[in-house]
Amino acid sequence: MSIEFHRTARGDGCGRCGFCKGSVVRELREAGHAVAVCGDGTADRCAADAADFVFATGRLVDYCRWRGLLHHPFESFDEVIEHFPR
């Protein structure tokens, strides 16, 4: 068994983690996609900064408030799913 990321890391990552989620968000936005992320903590901050919208729980809620990021606090993924068309 092997584990692989969908691509090699780009040079625009934060450098604080093994694979910057913000780099992935920026790649998707550059390709013309609107990006919403779900997260709960420190490892999700770069993605939250780069995303169009954030579903946040845990410590990420405070981070989004502090940064003024458009976000929606959630406690379960059922709440997140309610925001998407079926």
| Segment 16-25, tens digit of pLDDT | 776 788 988 9
C-alpha torsion 19→25→48→18, nearest 10: 0
Q: How far apart are CA 27 and CA 9, in angstroms?
A: 11
pTM for the full predicted model = 0.83
Domain borders along the chain are 21-76
| Segment 44-64, tens digit of pLDDT | 999 999 999 999 999 999 999
Q: Which of 80, 35, 32, 78 is nearest to 56 (CA)?
A: 80
21-76 fold = Rossmann fold (3.40.50)
Question: CB–CB of 56/39 below 8 Å?
Answer: yes
Question: CB–CB of 74/55 below 8 Å?
Answer: yes
